[in-house]
Chain A
């Protein structure tokens, strides 16, 4: 209503190939300890359009804790306890085989648009040389079939094969696999955020 002067945003530029000494020197890939009773290991590989591993990417994740609460001042749901030491943020560089790995917990369900609950999910941003702006995707959980089928974001993706790129694959208890394909037939769903 008040015509505030709007400022134009600063454009994005690529993170480039040489960020490691500044951004990933400190290991932020473990959001919880390996021996945490509900620890989940999520690992995967980032591939380019030729199917080659992307060995110079940085993957960041953001998520709620297992109660579905975000460690952030705008999550006012005080009835859902925060967990000491759990920030919900992770950052991992890909290795010489394009692999990344996080150790975290499955987040609880969180509210979505139009009052609908969202299935448990983790927001993911990928930065790399050749990406002029981060690409954003989400990780959903394979043991949440019912919640996934009702999730407003997942169901907004009509193509079933495309939608399935957002669900991690579970090989064994506490160990999930989530590959990220930047291009090609099996390209991961990326979001306009």
Chain B
């Protein structure tokens, strides 16, 4: 057993093929020239893949989680709370892990210089935030509800309102970048990025739920978005002890 501990490491469970979108999803035009064509090579989870950047020691500012208090005044739009837990596939909290978010403002415009949507910028809103999960894997942001925006993928293409999320989890193998949507958005059916997740049940996991309990009276509606990263293999993947 002692020998195993040196080189035999427990990897992460590989996700079912239907969980994530395929690289090539022609309805989303941007994938056509960027999706790899050659079959992927299976990478065993070695020490390189079961380790990853540790952010516990990073300074995260006390207001980094509140996108409504990063400027002189308050941003326009509907103030909301976005919160949830980051869990692994076995339901264990992912602790002390960096969560980064970014989004358009209430008019559907990003502060990014590449965004040409003719909707106004808000001098009181940048749209970027970050925080660390706590011991229960919880995170919480205060922001404004982002607007939908047109993006030119096809005639009259509009992105449903969404917030981008970037998560590390404990390992290089658990890295996840995703988007959170809002319940009941009428734009889902025409959005190829949302629809690129083929399994409808998996797609549902991208949609936050309205959370009356976490809604703060006279102040802000709350949405809950739990994020599940991969779980761990129970045993080392090493096979040389057989």
Contacts and interface: CB of A to CB of B under 8 A. Distances in A.
A16 B164 CA distance: 9
A192 B40 contact: yes
Contacts, number: 255
B72 interface: no
Given A8-B205, A23-B166, A118-B46, A132 B40 contact: no
A23 B176 CA distance: 14
B150 interface: no
A192 B126 CA distance: 35
B193 A64 contact: no
Contacts of A70: 47-48, 51
Interface stretch (A36-44, A169-177, A181-189): A181-189
Interface size class of A (residues with CB under 8 A): 35 or more
A57 B51 CA distance: 23
Interface in B1-46: 3, 5-9, 14-15, 19-23, 25, 28-38, 40-46
26 contacts: A7-B231, A8-B205, A9-B15, A10-B205, A12-B178, A14-B30, A17-B112, A21-B110, A21-B111, A22-B101, A23-B166, A49-B33, A72-B54, A74-B47, A74-B50, A74-B171, A110-B47, A112-B46, A113-B46, A123-B49, A131-B34, A131-B35, A133-B23, A152-B44, A157-B41, A190-B41
Interface of A: 1, 4-23, 25, 48-50, 52, 54, 56, 60, 62-64, 70-77, 87-89, 110-115, 118, 121, 123, 125, 127-136, 138, 152-153, 156-157, 162, 182-184, 187-193
Interface of B: 3, 5-9, 14-15, 19-23, 25, 28-38, 40-54, 87-91, 100-102, 104, 110-112, 114-115, 126-130, 164, 166, 170-173, 175-179, 193-194, 196-197, 201-203, 205-206, 227-231, 234, 237-240
